[in-house]
Structure 1
Amino acid sequence: MRAAFGIGRLVAAGAGIAAIVGQLITSLDYWAKNDVTNVPLAITNFFSFFTILSNVGAIVVMLIGAFVLFTRKGPDPSWFTLLRASVATYMIITGIVYNLLLRGIQLPQGTTLEWSNEILHVAVPIIMLLDWIFTPGRTPIEWNQLWKILIFPIVWVVYTMVRGPFTPNELAGTSYWYPYPFLNPYTSHNGYLSVAFYIVLIAATIGLVAAGVIWISRRKPIFA
């Protein structure tokens, strides 16, 4: 049983890698055709999307998780359970935010590779949720660990909002760059007020999802 889950994790990691590489190649080609000169900055922007960073985290967790399933029996190490819970939270949020707020909106990576988009925003979030619920090895997480799950989203929001006004967007011809429209005070209806509203709303959602992930961890595993 553990081997079957391990193989599933390897397949999921492979799909995530293919989706990120596929979108990056598509974006590189689009940038070349549209005379983007600062390619290193464009690549940095590409890896500044919460979606990309979360999926990179999911790939790492799936690869480590497969190794754990193949090489040991019994409960996972506590550090891995917390890492897995954190990334599962981020991927669930990625799926929720994209499908509620961003589906159908062109994002500033240049152009969207549809099959990659669906893997990164739908398939991997669902896989991470199912993996958290069903894959053996999960151990209970104490409630006082919840704040650790919130560290990465907080750091990412600070990074995004501090960096945004000073990062030019060659494709749009602006002096600023934000990965998502709801974080862009220059185009939001009420500027920073609108941005603050979405940040608070998403922060609350992350907290609720993280609490749900911890709650699941404290239930008896379906598979030992």
Structure 2
Amino acid sequence: MRALSMILRAAGALGIAAAVLAQWRRTQENEAAGTGETSFVSLNFFSFFTIESNVFAALVLGIGFFMMMRRGPEPKGFTLLRAIAVTYMATTGIVYNLLLRGIELPQGATVAWSNEVLHLAGPLLVVLDWLIAPGKRRLEPGMLWPIVAFPVIWAGYTLIRGALVLDPRTGSHWYPYPFLNPAASANGYFSVAFYVLLIAVMIWAVGALVLRTSRRLRIG
């Protein structure tokens, strides 16, 4: 099980990192071709929760690969980092595949294989790693707060940045997701507040399930 987990972690870290870099390069190329500002679009790119979740997951998998070279249970703090990564990646996979898959994007805007890694293969691999990798420590319910904190902070950052910054090409406010744009929502900030609350509840529910499995499915 340890050897298989090391292989999965190495493949996951490298695959997710390659997918993020491939999509980032495509995004910059698309913006440059449209005479946009690549520095602005790069900041936009890394403002997507999907991208941030995948970057974090790749780092956790990479660190986890080297930690598995030592025997014994992993540090409790690292188990918490794994719990955070699997919560965010599972949420990303659920939301995309249930609600966003099939929505057409501008031709050439995405790298097809990268899109599948970031929204399907990556989340599945991180969940599998959580379930089978040895060394997981018991996490108490109180550790749910660190899991929920970042998405709330991210939502606040997104709303503040969107209200203050204009896209130099379009002259309009930029938000990573339409449901967070008060100008595009039926009831403005009331609709946005509803979606932010919904995101927080979903993260809370998935995170609570992840913490519960840490107490039921400890291997090694």
Q: How many percent identity over aligned positions?
A: 49
Paired amino acid for 1:12: G
Paired amino acid for 2:206: V
Taking the aligned partners of 1:16 and 1:7, their CA distance within structure 2 comes to 14
For residues 59 and 148 of structure 1, do their structure 2 counterparts lie closer, same or farther at Cα, with a shift above 3 Å needed? Answer: same
Could you say which residue in structure 2 is the equivalent of 1:3?
3
Could you say which residue in structure 2 is the equivalent of 1:190?
187
Match of 1:44, SS state, is: helix
TM-score scaled to structure 2, two decimals? 0.94
For residues 35 and 10 of structure 1, do their structure 2 counterparts lie closer, same or farther at Cα, with a shift above 3 Å needed? Answer: same
Could you say which residue in structure 2 is the equivalent of 1:125?
123
Post-superposition CA distance 1:156-206 (Å, at most 9, x none): 1110011112222245x1421100111111111222121111111111111
Q: Aligned ranges for residues 1-224 of structure 1 at < 5 Å?
A: 1-36=1-36, 38-70=37-69, 72-105=70-103, 111-170=109-168, 173-221=170-218, 223-224=219-220
Post-superposition CA distance 1:30-85 (Å, at most 9, x none): 1111110x221211111110011000000000001100112x11111011000110
Taking the aligned partners of 1:114 and 1:220, their CA distance within structure 2 comes to 34
Post-superposition CA distance 1:100-123 (Å, at most 9, x none): 332234679x81111111110111
- 1:182–1:198 contact (8 Å) kept in structure 2: yes
Q: CA deviation at 1:3?
A: 2.5
For residues 107 and 85 of structure 1, do their structure 2 counterparts lie closer, same or farther at Cα, with a shift above 3 Å needed? Answer: farther
Taking the aligned partners of 1:69 and 1:80, their CA distance within structure 2 comes to 12
Paired amino acid for 1:131: D
CA RMSD after TM alignment:
1.6
Paired amino acid for 1:2: R
TM-score scaled to structure 1, two decimals? 0.92
Paired amino acid for 1:65: G
Match of 1:35, SS state, is: coil
